[in-house]
Amino acid sequence: MRDSIVGKLIQAETKRQKETLDLIPSENIVSKEVLQALGSVFTNKYAEGYPAARYYGGNEYADKLESLCQERALKLFRLSPKKWSVNVQPYSGSPANLAVYLALACPPKSEDGKVPTPKIMGMQLDMGGHLTHGHSVSATGKFWTAVRYGVGKETELLDYNAIRRMAKKEKPKIIIAGFTAYPRLIDFKKFRSIADEVDAYLLVDMSHFAGLVAGSAYPSPFPYADIVTTTTHKSLRGPRGAMIFANRESKIAAKNKIDIAKAIDRAVFPGLQGGPHLNQIAALAVSLKEATEPSFKKYAHQIVKNARTLAVELKKLGWRVISGGTDTHLLLVDVAERGIGGKDASILLEKSGIISNYNTIPYDHRPPMNPSGIRLGTPALTTRGMKENEMKKIVTLINAVLVEKKNVSKEVHALCAKF
Ligand code: DSN
């Protein structure tokens, strides 16, 4: 690369990724083919609009590419194009969720503020939800009236009775199921019945577990949801980006006389975005094909086995794991209980090359900037080929850092060198 400054940064980042253990559950390592597609000439092209309905010339191959990507997305999640549409243009997860709210619960024009903004109901960020599920600092909490549910104090699990009570009281237009830091299965059927009771749309944001759904290692939300959004770069192992699936047979959309697929497409473009990032769509198409291969199913199941092993081994060493374990790719560890803040723990671990992120735990009594927990996940390490034995070793290393205050960089390097 002629730009030696950026070239060196890329080299340094490559070395960092090779020589450290990435336990951040929302990160992964894409294939060379995905990188090649991301770095392709499709980045040069404008294609505002949709296949066969663009505002620019020269889109012969862009049309083929976007249609192919849509076909692969539907095939991967075993969906019929008659029943489901998919929009592959969202730049990432936050605009994808924003587009859904714009499409299905557009705020009214009211300069005097007398018309109330539509209500959305999602999981609280500090209980495991996401900023775009209606947090007050996010546009989704500013332009929409947001009410948010949490988990039970004792169980640390979703409490469907409490969610139902809240839905009945608040009557939201959209109920959001999905998480960034909840380690358990979601009962999508129960969410559907709650949404039906209050005539709300059910949006499932499967960003974190999309790869697990693709590999049949987590229940599919598609039989129950009106809309499914997902980022494409987490457990799904594609480039950064997002997709929005819309259920053409949504009963609530029919009741509201909305063509749900069209409404989503219009909200993405021209509602929210300009030209699609075609290089990103090319890379997504590559990764969707990879995820249909039988090896991906094995990968998805191994992700969960690895996360379970981390949880079990940490518990053996006396660490409190939120909700007692995990059914997914991630777990939350209450490090404050052992006298160390989440941020302090994460910084200490990084000094030894173990990369995690600090995170609130349910009903956290500490501030978000140094909360009680760390969040650990296994998609990236599983991509490197690590299995249960390596997870056991990693737990001993984490314990040595946090309890014995040892620096285990040498052991981390040695393990990374093998994978
Ligand atoms: N920032 C992502 C995560 O780490 O979970 C969610 O968007």
Residue ranges per domain, the chain?
A: 33-291, 294-417
Virtual CA dihedral for 262, 268, 273, 276, nearest 10 degrees?
Answer: -80
Note the pLDDT of residue 134.
93
Residue pointed to by tokens 């809309």: 227
Show pLDDT as tens, one digit a residue, over the chain (419 residues): 999 999 999 999 999 999 999 999 999 999 999 999 999 999 999 999 999 999 999 999 999 999 999 999 999 999 999 999 999 999 999 999 999 999 999 888 777 767 778 999 999 999 999 999 999 999 999 999 999 999 999 999 999 999 999 999 999 999 999 999 999 999 999 999 999 999 999 999 999 999 999 999 999 999 999 999 999 999 999 999 999 999 999 999 999 999 999 999 999 999 999 999 999 999 999 999 999 999 999 999 999 999 999 999 999 999 999 999 999 999 999 999 999 999 999 999 999 999 999 999 999 999 999 999 999 999 999 999 999 999 999 999 999 999 999 999 999 999 999 99
Ligand 1: nearest atom to the Cα of 94: 7
Q: Is 358 a catalytic residue?
A: no
Catalytic residue check, 46: yes
Cβ(129)–Cβ(148) below 8 Å: yes
Where residue 92 falls (left for φ over 0; alpha for ψ -120 to 50; beta otherwise) is beta
Exactly one of 27, 45, 46, 406 is catalytic; name it: 46
Q: Catalytic pick from 164, 171, 190, 240?
A: 240
- The residue among 234, 124, 117 whose CA lies nearest residue 173 is 117
Length in residues, the chain? 419
187 alpha carbon – ligand 1 mean position (Å)? 21
In CATH terms, the fold of domain 33-291 is: Aspartate Aminotransferase; domain 2 (3.40.640)
Under a CB-based contact definition with an 8 Å cutoff, are residues 336 and 319 in contact?
no
Angle at CA 321, nearest 5°, toward 231 and 400? 100
Look up the CATH number of domain 294-417.
3.90.1150.10
Neighbour-count burial for 116-142, b at 16+ CB within 10 Å, e otherwise: ebbbbbbbbbbbbbbbbbbbeebebbe
Instruction: Give the per-residue pLDDT at 165.
Output: 98
Selection from 169, 385, 226, 317 nearest residue 333 by Cα: 317
Q: How far is the CA of 238 from the centre of ligand 1 (A)?
A: 15
Helices (H), ranges, 247-356: 251-255, 260-266, 278-292, 294-316, 342-351
- Residue with CA at minimum distance from ligand 1 atom 5: 180
Q: Which of 132, 180, 229, 231 is catalytic?
A: 231
Measure the CA–CA gap between 417 and 419, rounded to whole angstroms. Answer: 6
Intrachain domains 33-291 and 294-417 with the same fold? no
Residue nearest to atom 4 of ligand 1 (CA): 26
Name the active-site residue from 48, 71, 259, 344. Answer: 48
Q: Which atom of ligand 1 lies closest to the CA of 131? A: 7
112 is catalytic: no
Instruction: Tell me whether strands 84-87 and 53-54 are parallel, antiparallel or unpaired.
Output: unpaired
Determine whether 126 is an active site residue: no
The rounded Å distance from CA 139 to ligand 1 centre is 16
Q: ω into residue 270 within 30 of 0, thus cis?
A: yes
pLDDT of residue 84: 98
Binding-site residues, ligand 1, Cβ < 6 A:
26, 93, 130, 180
SS3 331: strand
Q: Which residues of 49-78 are buried (b: 16+ CB within 10 A; e: fewer)?
A: bbbeebeeeebeebbebbebbbebbbebbe
pLDDT for the residue 115: 75
Q: Give me ligand 1 centre to Cα 288, in Å.
A: 20
Indicate if 205 belongs to the active site: yes
Whether 145 is a known active-site residue: answer no
Angle between helices 342-351 and 388-402 (to 10 degrees): 110
Q: Which residue is catalytic, options 126, 205, 265, 411? A: 205
Hey, is 119 helix, strand or coil?
Answer: strand
For ligand 1, atom 1: residue with the closest CA: 26
